Amino acid sequence: KAGVTQTPRYLIKTRGQQVTLSCSPISGHRSVSWYQQTPGQGLQFLFEYFSETQRNKGNFPGRFSGRQFSNSRSEMNVSTLELGDSALYLCASSYDPDRRLGIYFGPGTRLTVL
């Protein structure tokens, strides 16, 4: 099976712009979650989707949003970018709603905000 894929892998934006990141889960996986990783804050949970519904959300401002499509693919959007949004954004997928078979990560999208 192909793993979790994320596009693009690298992105450079300027402050005030918006960005959309894409994630394709492992085939058959219906849960997709997003994480932000920075040197200062480490890995932080953004949100999780299951069957097109957002199940949980981390402590991030409303500029961070996401959605999941019927084919389980997910997108994450960040509006009005700030310098502090520069980070590695990781997407992960799991098969079942309780994640009993594990959570598997993609390679990440490196976002740089100038």
Partner 1 sequence: SQQGEEDPQALSIQEGENATMNCSYKTSINNLQWYRQNSGRGLVHLILIRSNEREKHSGRLRVTLDTSKKSSSLLITASRAADTASYFCSTNSGGSNYKLTFGKGTLLTVNP
Does 13 engage in binding with partner 1 (CB under 8 A)?
A: no
Closest CA to 65 of 54, 78, 51, 52: 78
13 or 107: CB nearest partner 1:
107
Residues 58-87 that bind partner 1 (CB under 8 A): 58
Q: Which residues contact 12 (CB under 8 A, 6 or more apart)?
A: 111, 112, 113, 114
For residues 9 and 98, give the distance between their C-alpha atoms in angstroms, rounded to a whole number. Answer: 28
- Supply 34's token pair: 């997003």
User: Which of these segments, 17-25, 61-69, 72-80, 99-107, binds partner 1 (CB under 8 A)?
Assistant: 99-107
Does 25 engage in binding with partner 1 (CB under 8 A)?
A: no
**Least distance to partner 1, CB of residue 40, Å:** 11
Q: Which residues contact 83 (CB under 8 A, 6 or more apart)?
A: 15, 113, 114
43 or 114: CB nearest partner 1:
43
Q: Which residues bind partner 1 (CB under 8 A)?
A: 6, 33, 35, 42-43, 45, 48, 50, 55-56, 58, 88, 90, 92, 97-108, 110
